Protein backbone atom coordinates (compact mmCIF):
# COMPACT_ATOMS: atom_id res chain seq x y z
CA UNK A 1 0.00 0.00 0.00
CA UNK A 2 1.43 3.35 -1.00
CA UNK A 3 2.30 5.89 1.70
CA UNK A 4 -0.24 8.42 0.45
CA UNK A 5 -3.06 5.88 0.49
CA UNK A 6 -2.10 4.77 3.99
CA UNK A 7 -2.05 8.35 5.24
CA UNK A 8 -5.41 9.05 3.63
CA UNK A 9 -6.90 5.96 5.28
CA UNK A 10 -5.52 6.91 8.71
CA UNK A 11 -6.86 10.43 8.29
CA UNK A 12 -10.28 9.03 7.42
CA UNK A 13 -10.22 6.93 10.60
CA UNK A 14 -9.45 10.03 12.69
CA UNK A 15 -12.21 12.18 11.23
CA UNK A 16 -14.77 9.38 11.25
CA UNK A 17 -14.71 9.13 15.05
CA UNK A 18 -18.17 10.18 16.22
CA UNK A 19 -16.85 11.04 19.69
CA UNK A 20 -14.75 13.86 18.22
CA UNK A 21 -17.70 15.59 16.57
CA UNK A 22 -20.08 14.99 19.47
CA UNK A 23 -17.61 16.60 21.86
CA UNK A 24 -16.97 19.47 19.43
CA UNK A 25 -20.71 20.15 19.04
CA UNK A 26 -21.31 20.12 22.80
CA UNK A 27 -18.40 22.44 23.59
CA UNK A 28 -19.02 24.94 20.78
CA UNK A 29 -22.80 25.01 20.35
CA UNK A 30 -23.93 24.18 23.88
CA UNK A 31 -21.29 25.95 25.97
CA UNK A 32 -19.06 28.43 24.11
CA UNK A 33 -21.56 30.18 21.82
CA UNK A 34 -24.33 30.59 24.45
CA UNK A 35 -21.83 32.09 26.90
CA UNK A 36 -20.43 34.46 24.26
CA UNK A 37 -23.93 35.57 23.31
CA UNK A 38 -24.70 36.19 26.98
CA UNK A 39 -21.47 38.16 27.40
CA UNK A 40 -22.12 40.34 24.35
CA UNK A 41 -25.60 41.29 25.52
CA UNK A 42 -24.88 42.02 29.16
CA UNK A 43 -22.68 44.14 31.39
CA UNK A 44 -20.19 46.58 29.89
CA UNK A 45 -20.07 44.75 26.54
CA UNK A 46 -23.62 45.55 25.43
CA UNK A 47 -23.20 48.04 22.58
CA UNK A 48 -19.96 49.42 24.02
CA UNK A 49 -16.41 48.29 23.33
CA UNK A 50 -14.58 50.52 25.79
CA UNK A 51 -12.03 53.21 24.95
CA UNK A 52 -8.32 53.04 24.21
CA UNK A 53 -6.19 56.15 23.63
CA UNK A 54 -3.99 54.82 20.84
CA UNK A 55 -2.12 58.07 20.08
CA UNK A 56 -0.70 60.91 22.19
CA UNK A 57 -3.65 63.20 23.01
CA UNK A 58 -3.80 66.69 21.57
CA UNK A 59 -3.94 69.76 23.79
CA UNK A 60 -7.58 70.19 22.76
CA UNK A 61 -8.42 66.62 23.84
CA UNK A 62 -6.74 67.12 27.21
CA UNK A 63 -8.50 70.43 27.83
CA UNK A 64 -11.88 68.97 26.91
CA UNK A 65 -11.28 65.94 29.16
CA UNK A 66 -10.44 68.19 32.12
CA UNK A 67 -13.61 70.21 31.64
CA UNK A 68 -15.75 67.09 31.34
CA UNK A 69 -14.15 65.48 34.41
CA UNK A 70 -15.14 68.49 36.52
CA UNK A 71 -18.73 68.01 35.40
CA UNK A 72 -18.78 64.21 35.70
CA UNK A 73 -17.08 63.79 39.10
CA UNK A 74 -19.82 65.40 41.26
CA UNK A 75 -22.51 63.37 39.51
CA UNK A 76 -20.68 60.08 40.07
CA UNK A 77 -20.08 60.87 43.74
CA UNK A 78 -23.76 60.33 44.39
CA UNK A 79 -24.91 63.91 44.87
CA UNK A 80 -27.25 63.62 41.91
CA UNK A 81 -29.92 60.99 41.35
CA UNK A 82 -29.31 59.30 38.02
CA UNK A 83 -31.04 56.62 36.01
CA UNK A 84 -29.19 53.44 35.08
CA UNK A 85 -28.70 54.65 31.51
CA UNK A 86 -27.37 58.03 32.66
CA UNK A 87 -24.97 56.34 35.05
CA UNK A 88 -23.74 54.04 32.27
CA UNK A 89 -23.08 56.99 29.95
CA UNK A 90 -21.24 58.91 32.67
CA UNK A 91 -19.07 55.91 33.52
CA UNK A 92 -18.10 55.53 29.87
CA UNK A 93 -17.23 59.22 29.60
CA UNK A 94 -15.24 58.98 32.82
CA UNK A 95 -13.19 56.04 31.50
CA UNK A 96 -12.55 57.85 28.22
CA UNK A 97 -11.44 61.08 29.88
CA UNK A 98 -9.29 59.20 32.39
CA UNK A 99 -7.48 57.44 29.53
CA UNK A 100 -6.87 60.78 27.78
CA UNK A 101 -5.56 62.49 30.92
CA UNK A 102 -3.28 59.56 31.79
CA UNK A 103 -1.89 59.63 28.25
CA UNK A 104 -0.96 63.31 28.69
CA UNK A 105 2.17 62.26 30.60
CA UNK A 106 3.42 60.10 27.74
CA UNK A 107 3.52 56.43 26.86
CA UNK A 108 2.39 53.87 29.43
CA UNK A 109 5.88 52.37 29.11
CA UNK A 110 7.67 55.55 30.19
CA UNK A 111 8.11 54.57 33.90
CA UNK A 112 9.41 51.11 32.95
CA UNK A 113 11.87 52.55 30.43
CA UNK A 114 13.19 55.00 33.02
CA UNK A 115 13.58 52.22 35.59
CA UNK A 116 15.44 50.00 33.11
CA UNK A 117 17.72 52.87 32.09
CA UNK A 118 18.63 53.48 35.74
CA UNK A 119 19.30 49.77 36.28
CA UNK A 120 21.50 49.55 33.17
CA UNK A 121 23.51 52.64 34.15
CA UNK A 122 23.98 51.35 37.71
CA UNK A 123 25.13 47.89 36.59
CA UNK A 124 27.49 49.41 34.03
CA UNK A 125 28.99 51.77 36.61
CA UNK A 126 29.60 48.82 38.95
CA UNK A 127 31.21 46.82 36.16
CA UNK A 128 28.53 44.14 36.35
CA UNK A 129 27.95 43.40 32.69
CA UNK A 130 26.79 39.83 33.05
CA UNK A 131 23.40 38.25 32.47
CA UNK A 132 21.30 40.84 34.37
CA UNK A 133 22.88 43.72 32.46
CA UNK A 134 22.36 41.97 29.13
CA UNK A 135 18.76 41.06 29.98
CA UNK A 136 17.89 44.62 31.04
CA UNK A 137 19.55 45.99 27.91
CA UNK A 138 17.62 43.58 25.71
CA UNK A 139 14.32 44.51 27.35
CA UNK A 140 15.11 48.23 27.10
CA UNK A 141 15.98 48.01 23.39
CA UNK A 142 12.84 45.99 22.66
CA UNK A 143 10.68 48.54 24.47
CA UNK A 144 12.30 51.47 22.69
CA UNK A 145 11.20 50.05 19.35
CA UNK A 146 7.56 49.68 20.38
CA UNK A 147 4.97 52.15 19.07
CA UNK A 148 3.14 54.51 21.40
CA UNK A 149 1.37 52.52 24.13
CA UNK A 150 -1.62 54.43 25.42
CA UNK A 151 -4.14 54.06 28.21
CA UNK A 152 -7.64 52.70 28.52
CA UNK A 153 -9.12 49.40 27.47
CA UNK A 154 -10.83 48.19 24.30
CA UNK A 155 -13.16 45.19 24.59
CA UNK A 156 -14.14 44.56 20.99
CA UNK A 157 -13.92 41.50 18.76
CA UNK A 158 -10.12 41.62 18.51
CA UNK A 159 -9.67 41.33 22.28
CA UNK A 160 -12.22 38.53 22.45
CA UNK A 161 -10.33 36.62 19.75
CA UNK A 162 -7.12 36.99 21.72
CA UNK A 163 -8.86 35.78 24.87
CA UNK A 164 -10.21 32.70 23.06
CA UNK A 165 -6.75 31.12 22.76
CA UNK A 166 -6.14 31.00 26.50
CA UNK A 167 -9.66 30.02 27.56
CA UNK A 168 -12.10 28.13 25.34
CA UNK A 169 -9.49 27.48 22.66
CA UNK A 170 -7.11 25.87 25.14
CA UNK A 171 -9.77 23.53 26.55
CA UNK A 172 -11.51 22.60 23.30
CA UNK A 173 -8.33 22.20 21.25
CA UNK A 174 -6.58 20.16 23.92
CA UNK A 175 -9.61 17.91 24.39
CA UNK A 176 -10.07 17.36 20.65
CA UNK A 177 -6.46 16.21 20.39
CA UNK A 178 -6.97 13.87 23.35
CA UNK A 179 -10.21 12.38 22.02
CA UNK A 180 -8.93 12.02 18.47
CA UNK A 181 -5.42 10.69 18.99
CA UNK A 182 -5.65 8.53 22.12
CA UNK A 183 -6.89 5.46 20.15
CA UNK A 184 -4.38 5.78 17.28
CA UNK A 185 -2.28 2.73 18.23
CA UNK A 186 -4.39 1.17 20.99
CA UNK A 187 -7.12 0.63 18.41
CA UNK A 188 -4.76 -1.56 16.39
CA UNK A 189 -3.93 -3.59 19.50
CA UNK A 190 -7.53 -4.02 20.65
CA UNK A 191 -8.71 -5.13 17.20
CA UNK A 192 -5.77 -7.48 16.76
CA UNK A 193 -4.74 -5.89 13.47
CA UNK A 194 -1.23 -5.28 14.79
CA UNK A 195 -0.46 -8.98 14.36
CA UNK A 196 -1.10 -9.15 10.63
CA UNK A 197 -1.47 -5.61 9.17
CA UNK A 198 2.08 -5.13 7.91
CA UNK A 199 4.66 -7.70 8.87
CA UNK A 200 7.54 -6.32 6.84
CA UNK A 201 9.84 -3.88 8.62
CA UNK A 202 9.38 -1.30 5.89
CA UNK A 203 5.62 -1.75 6.07
CA UNK A 204 5.55 -1.21 9.81
CA UNK A 205 7.48 2.02 9.48
CA UNK A 206 5.16 3.15 6.69
CA UNK A 207 2.17 2.60 8.97
CA UNK A 208 3.71 4.65 11.79
CA UNK A 209 4.64 7.39 9.31
CA UNK A 210 1.09 7.43 7.98
CA UNK A 211 -0.33 7.73 11.50
CA UNK A 212 2.06 10.57 12.37
CA UNK A 213 1.27 12.50 9.18
CA UNK A 214 -2.46 11.92 9.66
CA UNK A 215 -2.28 13.12 13.27
CA UNK A 216 -0.50 16.31 12.19
CA UNK A 217 -3.15 16.97 9.54
CA UNK A 218 -5.88 16.24 12.09
CA UNK A 219 -4.42 18.81 14.52
CA UNK A 220 -4.05 21.33 11.67
CA UNK A 221 -7.68 20.93 10.58
CA UNK A 222 -8.98 21.19 14.15
CA UNK A 223 -6.99 24.37 14.72
CA UNK A 224 -8.40 25.75 11.46
CA UNK A 225 -11.97 24.92 12.47
CA UNK A 226 -11.52 26.56 15.87
CA UNK A 227 -10.03 29.64 14.19
CA UNK A 228 -13.16 29.93 12.04
CA UNK A 229 -15.35 29.55 15.15
CA UNK A 230 -13.28 32.17 16.99
CA UNK A 231 -13.30 34.74 14.18
CA UNK A 232 -16.89 34.24 13.02
CA UNK A 233 -18.45 34.28 16.49
CA UNK A 234 -16.59 37.31 17.82
CA UNK A 235 -16.90 39.42 14.66
CA UNK A 236 -20.66 38.83 14.68
CA UNK A 237 -21.14 39.49 18.41
CA UNK A 238 -18.72 42.30 19.26
CA UNK A 239 -17.54 45.63 17.89
CA UNK A 240 -15.18 45.18 14.94
CA UNK A 241 -11.97 47.05 15.62
CA UNK A 242 -8.76 47.16 17.61
CA UNK A 243 -6.78 44.87 15.30
CA UNK A 244 -4.21 47.60 14.60
CA UNK A 245 -3.70 48.46 18.28
CA UNK A 246 -0.41 47.27 19.82
CA UNK A 247 -0.60 44.00 21.73
CA UNK A 248 0.31 45.90 24.91
CA UNK A 249 -3.04 47.71 24.69
CA UNK A 250 -4.48 44.56 26.30
CA UNK A 251 -3.76 44.67 30.03
CA UNK A 252 -2.57 41.05 30.30
CA UNK A 253 0.19 41.41 27.68
CA UNK A 254 3.16 43.56 28.65
CA UNK A 255 6.02 41.66 26.99
CA UNK A 256 7.78 44.12 24.62
CA UNK A 257 7.12 42.28 21.36
CA UNK A 258 6.38 44.58 18.42
CA UNK A 259 3.05 43.06 17.42
CA UNK A 260 -0.37 44.47 16.70
CA UNK A 261 -3.38 42.61 18.08
CA UNK A 262 -4.10 41.28 14.60
CA UNK A 263 -0.53 40.05 14.16
CA UNK A 264 -0.63 38.42 17.58
CA UNK A 265 -3.73 36.43 16.59
CA UNK A 266 -1.84 35.06 13.57
CA UNK A 267 1.21 34.24 15.71
CA UNK A 268 -0.99 32.63 18.38
CA UNK A 269 -2.56 30.34 15.77
CA UNK A 270 0.88 29.12 14.68
CA UNK A 271 2.17 28.63 18.24
CA UNK A 272 -1.00 26.84 19.34
CA UNK A 273 -0.75 24.63 16.27
CA UNK A 274 2.87 23.80 17.07
CA UNK A 275 1.95 23.03 20.68
CA UNK A 276 -0.95 20.87 19.54
CA UNK A 277 1.25 18.85 17.18
CA UNK A 278 3.90 18.37 19.89
CA UNK A 279 1.24 17.26 22.38
CA UNK A 280 -0.21 14.95 19.74
CA UNK A 281 3.19 13.27 19.35
CA UNK A 282 3.27 12.57 23.09
CA UNK A 283 -0.23 11.07 23.01
CA UNK A 284 0.78 8.81 20.12
CA UNK A 285 3.83 7.61 22.05
CA UNK A 286 1.66 6.77 25.06
CA UNK A 287 -0.83 5.08 22.75
CA UNK A 288 1.92 2.89 21.30
CA UNK A 289 2.66 1.60 24.82
CA UNK A 290 -0.92 0.75 25.79
CA UNK A 291 -3.62 -1.64 24.67
CA UNK A 292 -6.28 0.45 26.44
CA UNK A 293 -7.53 3.69 24.92
CA UNK A 294 -8.83 4.81 28.33
CA UNK A 295 -5.40 4.43 29.92
CA UNK A 296 -3.82 6.50 27.14
CA UNK A 297 -6.58 9.10 27.39
CA UNK A 298 -6.39 9.58 31.15
CA UNK A 299 -2.59 9.59 31.31
CA UNK A 300 -2.45 12.15 28.48
CA UNK A 301 -5.23 14.18 30.09
CA UNK A 302 -3.22 14.16 33.31
CA UNK A 303 -0.15 15.49 31.49
CA UNK A 304 -2.33 18.25 30.03
CA UNK A 305 -4.33 19.19 33.14
CA UNK A 306 -1.78 18.67 35.92
CA UNK A 307 0.25 21.88 35.32
CA UNK A 308 -2.93 23.97 35.48
CA UNK A 309 -4.03 22.23 38.69
CA UNK A 310 -0.61 22.79 40.26
CA UNK A 311 -0.76 26.50 39.38
CA UNK A 312 -4.22 26.72 40.97
CA UNK A 313 -2.90 25.12 44.16
CA UNK A 314 0.61 26.63 44.32
CA UNK A 315 0.24 29.62 42.00
CA UNK A 316 2.60 31.91 43.91
CA UNK A 317 5.46 29.41 43.90
CA UNK A 318 8.13 29.98 41.27
CA UNK A 319 8.50 26.26 40.55
CA UNK A 320 4.77 25.98 39.82
CA UNK A 321 4.90 28.84 37.33
CA UNK A 322 8.01 27.37 35.69
CA UNK A 323 6.35 23.95 35.39
CA UNK A 324 3.32 25.52 33.71
CA UNK A 325 5.50 27.70 31.53
CA UNK A 326 7.39 24.74 30.07
CA UNK A 327 4.42 22.39 29.78
CA UNK A 328 2.37 21.49 26.72
CA UNK A 329 -0.52 23.30 28.39
CA UNK A 330 1.45 26.53 28.72
CA UNK A 331 2.53 26.38 25.08
CA UNK A 332 -0.97 25.69 23.75
CA UNK A 333 -2.34 28.47 25.98
CA UNK A 334 0.04 30.90 24.18
CA UNK A 335 -0.72 33.89 26.44
CA UNK A 336 2.00 32.97 28.95
CA UNK A 337 4.64 33.55 26.29
CA UNK A 338 3.61 37.20 25.95
CA UNK A 339 2.54 38.20 29.48
CA UNK A 340 5.79 39.85 30.48
CA UNK A 341 9.44 40.04 29.56
CA UNK A 342 11.13 36.79 30.62
CA UNK A 343 14.63 35.76 29.59
CA UNK A 344 16.58 32.71 30.73
CA UNK A 345 20.29 32.55 31.36
CA UNK A 346 21.95 30.42 28.69
CA UNK A 347 25.74 30.56 29.09
CA UNK A 348 25.47 34.10 30.43
CA UNK A 349 23.27 35.41 27.63
CA UNK A 350 19.52 36.13 27.81
CA UNK A 351 17.32 33.88 25.67
CA UNK A 352 13.70 34.99 25.40
CA UNK A 353 11.22 32.61 27.01
CA UNK A 354 9.04 32.16 23.88
CA UNK A 355 12.07 31.23 21.77
CA UNK A 356 13.34 28.82 24.42
CA UNK A 357 10.03 27.03 25.04
CA UNK A 358 9.25 26.68 21.32
CA UNK A 359 12.75 25.38 20.64
CA UNK A 360 12.46 22.86 23.48
CA UNK A 361 9.07 21.66 22.24
CA UNK A 362 10.59 20.93 18.83
CA UNK A 363 13.68 19.24 20.30
CA UNK A 364 11.67 17.06 22.70
CA UNK A 365 9.35 15.99 19.87
CA UNK A 366 12.24 14.42 17.93
CA UNK A 367 13.03 11.63 20.45
CA UNK A 368 9.30 11.18 21.14
CA UNK A 369 8.65 10.44 17.45
CA UNK A 370 11.71 8.15 17.30
CA UNK A 371 10.50 6.23 20.36
CA UNK A 372 7.06 5.84 18.81
CA UNK A 373 8.61 4.11 15.80
CA UNK A 374 10.70 1.88 18.05
CA UNK A 375 7.89 0.90 20.42
CA UNK A 376 5.28 0.10 17.78
CA UNK A 377 7.61 -1.76 15.44
CA UNK A 378 9.04 -3.88 18.25
CA UNK A 379 5.56 -4.55 19.60
CA UNK A 380 4.55 -6.02 16.24
CA UNK A 381 7.62 -8.24 16.15
CA UNK A 382 6.67 -9.58 19.55
Residue 326, pLDDT above cutoff 60: yes
DSSP string covering 103-137, please? HTT--TTHHHHHHHHHHHHHHHHTT--SHHHHHHH
Residue 71, pLDDT above cutoff 70: yes
Confidence class of residue 232 from pLDDT cuts 50, 70 and 90? very high
Residue 301, pLDDT above cutoff 80: yes
Rounded to an integer, what distance in angstroms lies between the CA atom of residue 94 and that of residue 89? 9
The domains of the chain are located at 3-45+155-381, 50-144
Residue 367, pLDDT above cutoff 80: yes
> What separation in angstroms does the CA of 230 have from each of 156, 160, 284, 298, 315?
13, 8, 27, 28, 29
Residue 196, pLDDT above cutoff 60: no
Higher-confidence residue: 156 or 216? Answer: 216
Residue 382, pLDDT above cutoff 60: no
Residue 243 near residue 261 (C-beta atoms within 8 A): yes
Rounded to an integer, what distance in angstroms lies between the CA atom of residue 283 and that of residue 172? 16
Residue 42, pLDDT above cutoff 90: no
DSSP string covering 73-108, please? HHIIIIIS---HHHHHHHHHHHHHHHHHHHHTT--T
Higher-confidence residue: 242 or 186? Answer: 242
Quote the distance between the C-alpha of residue 19 and its chain's center: 25
Q: Could you write out the three-class secondary structure of 212-228?
A: HHHHHHHHHHHHHHHHH
The confidence score (pLDDT) of residue 94 equals 85
| Neighbouring C-alpha atoms within 13 Å toward the C-beta of 333 | 19
3-state secondary structure of 352: strand
In the chain, the percentage of residues whose pLDDT exceeds 90 is 59
> What separation in angstroms does the CA of 60 have from each of 51, 66, 91?
18, 10, 21
Confidence class of residue 155 from pLDDT cuts 50, 70 and 90? confident
Q: What is the mean pLDDT of residues 14-36?
A: 94
Confidence class of residue 228 from pLDDT cuts 50, 70 and 90? very high
Confidence class of residue 149 from pLDDT cuts 50, 70 and 90? very high
Residue 239 host element (H or E):
none
The confidence score (pLDDT) of residue 115 equals 95
Rounded to an integer, what distance in angstroms lies between the CA atom of residue 284 and that of residue 289? 9
Single out the residue of 297, 298, 301, 322 nearest to residue 311, CA to CA: 322
The confidence score (pLDDT) of residue 330 equals 94
Round the average pLDDT of the chain to a whole number and report it.
88
The confidence score (pLDDT) of residue 233 equals 95
Query: pTM (2 decimals)?
Result: 0.91
Residue 160, pLDDT above cutoff 90: yes
Rounded to an integer, what distance in angstroms lies between the CA atom of residue 150 and that of residue 100? 9
The confidence score (pLDDT) of residue 6 equals 86
Residue 348, pLDDT above cutoff 70: yes
Bridge partners of 52, per DSSP, are 152
The winner for highest mean pLDDT among 2-6, 323-327, 363-367 is 363-367
Other Cβ atoms less than 10 A from the Cβ of 196: the count is 8
Bridge partners of 50, per DSSP, are 154
Confidence class of residue 194 from pLDDT cuts 50, 70 and 90? low
Amino acid sequence: MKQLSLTRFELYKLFSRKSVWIFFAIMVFCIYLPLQILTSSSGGYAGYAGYYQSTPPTAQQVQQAKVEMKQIAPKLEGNTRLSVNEMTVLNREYLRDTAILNAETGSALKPTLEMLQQSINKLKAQGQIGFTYRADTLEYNMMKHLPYIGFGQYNGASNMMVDFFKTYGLIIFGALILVGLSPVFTEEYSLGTDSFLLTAKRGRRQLVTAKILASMLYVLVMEGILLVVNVASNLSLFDIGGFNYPLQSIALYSAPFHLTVGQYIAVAVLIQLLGGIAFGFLIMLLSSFNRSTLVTFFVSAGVFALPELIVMMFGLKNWAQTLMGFSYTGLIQVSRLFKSFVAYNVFGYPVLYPILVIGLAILVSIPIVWLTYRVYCRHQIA
